[in-house]
Amino acid sequence: MERTLIIFKPDAMNRMLVGQILARFEAKGLRLAAMKLQQSPRAQVEKHYAVHAERPFYGELCDFMTSAPVVVAILEGPSAIRVVRSMLGATNGADAAPGTIRGDFGLDKQYNLVHASDGEETAKQEIELFFKPEEIVDWQRAGDKWICS
């Protein structure tokens, strides 16, 4: 069982796509372990994207990510990090394969709807950056026994 952090970005919020996209993750069998709506403090966004600090789009990316509230969530399931990234598709929606979230809903490299952790170490760091331990819930769904044999 693996946990990954996702952020429904301001474009998903303003385009009212959160419910549709979340439904795909649920239908896949991934389980919510935490979820909240927040207006992200700029310092948190800058830390989250610190790896891109030298890229020309860093300032614009931080402006974008603080331009509206976002929904932040933790999804869990077998290989959740890899599964969620593959469901999102390529970074640029114009390049993302049909059937992926960005391939079906997006056309842009910045406005790409959802962020998801890209590895085990980043997932751990990102979960710690956005959630307090007491905000994360351990639970079982009635349907879980029909999702993983």
Sites of contact with ligand CMP (CB under 6 A): 52, 57, 61, 91, 109-110, 112, 115
Cα 138 to Cα 1, 81, 134: the distances in Å are 12, 18, 10
* Catalytic site includes residue 115: yes
Tell me how far, at minimum, the Cβ of 1 lies from ligand CMP, in Å.
23
Tell me how far, at minimum, the Cβ of 57 lies from ligand CMP, in Å.
3
Return the sign of the alpha-carbon dihedral for residues 129, 147, 23, 95. positive
Catalytic residue among 12, 62, 115, 127: 115
| Helices 18-28 and 80-88, packing angle to 10 deg | 130
- Do you know the residue count of the chain? 149
Alpha-carbon Rg for the chain in angstroms: 15
Tell me how far, at minimum, the Cβ of 147 lies from ligand CMP, in Å.
26
The SS3 of residue 57 is: coil
Tell me how far, at minimum, the Cβ of 90 lies from ligand CMP, in Å.
10
Segments in the chain forming alpha helices (H): 10-14, 18-28, 42-48, 58-65, 80-88, 101-105, 120-130
Closer to ligand CMP by Cβ: residue 66 or 112: 112
Closer to ligand CMP by Cβ: residue 36 or 52: 52
How far is residue 48's CA from residue 35's CA, in Å, rounded to a whole number? 17
Active-site annotation, residues: 115
